[in-house]
Amino acid sequence: MKKLALFLAALCISSFALAVEPNEMLKDAGLEARAREVSKQLRCVQCQNETIDESHADIARAMRLLVRERITAGDTNDQIIAYMLSRYGDYVLLRPRFMSSTLILWVGPFVLLVLGGLVVVTRIRRGGTEGLALTEEEQKAVAALTELGEGGS
């Protein structure tokens, strides 16, 4: 049991041991933490659904190194992300920005939720069990099924 727990713990940790190789890391822990933070917002442009922090693709590695170089040179996180945006467009952000072209993406689910809620509310308000009660035919069918179930047990 203890071994299993250890194994699971190791598994959890290993999922965080990502693509960043030790020789890529900055010596300054604070700067390295910033590099990781920036890297987690940037998409590996070749692999589509990974951040450059977790991707093993060569282009992701090159982008990681560039992020670290810019941080060392004194750029802010926002400046680095702005640079990547100016090269690759919005696609490079894993989390889409809130703007007119992504409005449906951000607001859509909530609109659907509200619409669905309205439907439910009006249904309940209308009260009545009209249409909910079983017809004679359906009752017979249910009875037949229950009998079948009891007979089988």
Q: Which residues are paired to 65 by β-bridges?
A: none
Total residues binding another protein (CB under 8 A): 16
Q: How far is the CB of 107 from another protein (least distance, A)?
A: 17
- Which own/partner contact pairs does 68-73 have at CB distance under 8 Å and 24+ positions apart? 68/24, 68/25, 68/26, 68/31, 68/32, 68/35, 71/26, 71/31, 71/34, 71/35, 71/38, 72/26, 72/31
Measured from the CB atom, the residue of 89 and 117 that comes closer to another protein is 89
| 28 belongs to the binding site for another protein (CB under 8 A) | no
Of residues 37, 19, 41, the one with CA closest to residue 29: 37
3-state secondary structure of 133: coil
In the block, tokens 């009260």 appear at 127
What tokens were used for 61? 């590695």
Q: Which residues are paired to 51 by β-bridges?
A: 43
Segment near another protein (CB under 8 A), from 11-19, 24-32, 87-95, 121-129?
A: 87-95
Of residues 86, 108, 105, the one with CA closest to residue 96: 105
Q: How far is the CB of 26 from another protein (least distance, A)?
A: 16
Contact string (CB under 8 A) for another protein, positions 91-130, x = contact: x---------------------------------------
| 45 belongs to the binding site for another protein (CB under 8 A) | yes
Measured from the CB atom, the residue of 30 and 131 that comes closer to another protein is 131
Contact string (CB under 8 A) for another protein, positions 54-83, x = contact: ----xx--xx-xx-----------------
Residue of the chain from 40, 88, 93, 94 that contacts another protein (CB under 8 A)? 88
Task: Write out the residues near another protein by the rule CB under 8 A.
Answer: 45-46, 58-59, 62-63, 65-66, 84-89, 91, 131
